[in-house]
Amino acid sequence: MVSKKMNLTLNTQNGSQELSLELKRLIVAGWVGKDKEALMAHIKELGELGVPAPSRTPTYMNLSPENLTTADQMDVVAPESSGEVECVLFKSGGKVYMGVGSDHTDRDFEQYGIPASKQMCAKPVAPTVWALDEVKDHLDKIILRSYMTVKGERKLYQEGPLGDNLSVLEILEEIPTEDGLGLDDFALYCGTFAAIGGIAYGELFEFEMEDPILNRKITHSYGISVLPQYL
């Protein structure tokens, strides 16, 4: 199996330092809504695209860590792809760091296979993380937010507190172990919120994680380019 080296910046209340992680796994959790009505809305949202309902919730998917990137540009092979803002936990050397990323997915292919539709796209993450220990006493108040620019028009795409979903600590603790892949040196995407107004496809995706208690924010964005095909 491959690994991915990630050079990140750890911002703490006492300053910042460079962080170099060698990640051996990328795990994407899905269907993590605590509000069953909101969870069903997200399942229905994807069902309208032909995506089958899950057999269990939450779900856990293993993808290649090679997909992780802090780049500000992404190439895709079809226009029907879009991002989803998610809290991302990085566990390495027994320590856990908290960042934010986008679970960019090929929506057209999603109806045929969810893990494959996610593996087809890069998985952007912001280059800055926080120490989980600094936020775990107010995790429910952390806010995730995303904006989508479609044909030059920027709009709020997703917004919600982590408290609306299952606890990221619970998601972390419930990672299945029967695959024998180990529980260290991985990145874990912890789920998302339904899109405001439904799933859209655009040329720019912005995402952020706000800590209103410690008054800080992590932001990142990436442009999306559709590669021409000659078939």
57-93 pLDDT per residue, tens = 899 999 999 999 999 999 999 999 999 999 999 999 9
The residue among 27, 20, 5 whose CA lies nearest residue 174 is: 27
Task: With beta carbons less than 8 A apart as the criterion, state whether 197 and 45 touch.
Answer: no
Answer yes or no: is 212 within a domain: yes
Q: What is the pLDDT of residues 189-211, one digit of tens each?
A: 999 998 999 999 999 999 999 99
* DSSP code of residue 194: -
Answer yes or no: is 4 within a domain: no
Answer yes or no: is 14 within a domain: no
Answer yes or no: is 145 within a domain: yes
Written in H, E and C, the secondary structure of 158-185 is EEEEHHHECCHHHHHHCCCCCCCCCCCC
Answer yes or no: is 16 within a domain: no
What are φ and ψ of residue 14, in 5° steps?
-105, 5
Range of the domain at 168: 21-226
Cβ neighbors of 174 (< 8 A, separation 6 or more) are: 58
| CATH code (residue 117) | 3.90.850.10
Which pLDDT does position 144 carry in this prediction? 99
22 CB neighbour count, 10 Å cutoff: 12
Q: Which H helix or E strand runs over 75?
A: strand 73-76
Answer yes or no: is 202 within a domain: yes
Answer yes or no: is 11 within a domain: no
Answer yes or no: is 87 within a domain: yes
CA torsion sign for 35, 63, 206, 219 is positive
Per-residue pLDDT of the chain (231 residues), as tens digits, is 899 999 999 999 999 999 999 999 999 999 898 877 877 877 787 788 787 788 878 999 999 999 999 999 999 999 999 999 999 999 999 999 999 999 999 999 988 899 999 999 999 999 999 999 999 999 999 999 999 999 999 999 999 999 999 999 999 999 999 988 989 999 999 999 989 999 999 999 999 999 999 999 999 999 999 999 999
Q: Per the structure, how many domains does the chain have?
A: 1
